[in-house]
Amino acid sequence: MGFFLETLIGGLMAGMLYSLVALGFVLIFKASGVFNFAQGAMVLFAALAMARFAAWVPEWLDVDSRWLANAIAFVLAGAMMFVVAWLVERLVLRHLVNQEGATLLMATLGIAYILEGVGTSIFGSDIYKIDVGMPKEPVMILEDVFAGGLLINQEDFVAALIAAVLVGLLALFFQKTATGRALRAVADDHQAAQSIGIPLHRIWVIVWCIAGVVALVAGVIWGSKLGVQFSLVTVALRGLPVVILGGLTSIPGAIVGGLIIGVGEKVSEVYLGPMIGGGIEIWFAYQLALLFLLFRPQGLFGEKIIDRV
């Protein structure tokens, strides 16, 4: 029982991180109807910026405190993500208003390649470290209840907590603020939103900025866990089955989808893997997503698309 609980908790914590990555997809899709293939590249770019600034700031400003250096680096990396958002709107999206979804999707694919290339050109392709003081050693709890106790990965726990807070804040922002409502209006219909005076271009910059900050937080967490390197791009792929499961337009969907995928893949790998050769963790998530696409293509919480014919 203790081991099952450990697997379950591990899955929930991993799932929370998947939710964070999935959130990036959901935010941009909600506000612009674009499936942003560049989300992974944004995570890598933001993490690279954070890691390099954290190393450069102490040299530039003669700062001794790691916390202060990290805080300045976070602000600078955030500023870079703002510049990225502004450039994306200026150079790409502005020219593609009211274009087909496939056109916008291809444009984000292009943005991904540019961000990956420019990011590694500016910051290099070595493995960089982000040290924000996340605890690395595990802790044991409930040793009296379960034989050997329950092992909790402190780093995952803190990361899941940060992800949960960010997800909560964003849910509030979308539901309770005027800008959040404007973002949702733009997602429903570009032209209709423009006709009632919602500044489309500014809204796009805002939403790409928010997605940039989400990418930065995801980059810091994953970068701290794995080291900042090109593989972070693949982390975003973990968000794909999550959004298919939860629905592309739903923030609660991203959270629930993330948790289901997280738990599903860990439990399946641990209990089903040994029977069929192991290594099923990754394709299990996609298999689950495929099932949903067959029977509930809008996902658990997504809006059902009804087209007039």
Task: Give contact residues for another protein (rule: CB under 8 A).
Answer: 3, 6-7, 10-11, 14, 120, 125-127, 129, 136-138, 151, 153, 155-156, 225-227, 229-231, 234-235, 238, 265-266, 269-270, 273-274, 277-279, 281-283
Amino acid at 51: A
Q: Which two tokens stand for residue 130?
A: 């982000």
Cβ proximity to another protein: between 40 and 247 the closer is 40
Least spacing, CB of residue 216 vs another protein, in Å: 18
Least spacing, CB of residue 138 vs another protein, in Å: 5
Cα(41)–Cα(219) distance, integer angstroms: 10
Q: Are 66 and 249 in contact (CB under 8 A)?
A: no
Least spacing, CB of residue 159 vs another protein, in Å: 11
Cβ proximity to another protein: between 64 and 137 the closer is 137
- Among the residues of the chain, which ranges form H helices? 2-32, 39-61, 66-91, 101-123, 154-176, 178-188, 190-195, 200-226, 232-235, 239-246, 251-267, 273-276, 281-295
Cβ proximity to another protein: between 201 and 225 the closer is 225
The answer to whether the Cα torsion of 114, 204, 85, 234 is positive or negative is negative
Least spacing, CB of residue 4 vs another protein, in Å: 10
Helices and strands: H and E segment counts in the chain = 13, 2
Q: What are phi and psi of 306, to 5 degrees?
A: -115, 115
Least spacing, CB of residue 273 vs another protein, in Å: 7
The answer to whether the Cα torsion of 119, 53, 163, 203 is positive or negative is negative
Q: Are 32 and 105 in contact (CB under 8 A)?
A: no
Query: How many other CB atoms are there within 10 angstroms of residue 13's CB atom?
Result: 23
Cβ proximity to another protein: between 28 and 43 the closer is 43
Least spacing, CB of residue 234 vs another protein, in Å: 6
Cβ proximity to another protein: between 203 and 288 the closer is 288
Cβ proximity to another protein: between 89 and 269 the closer is 269
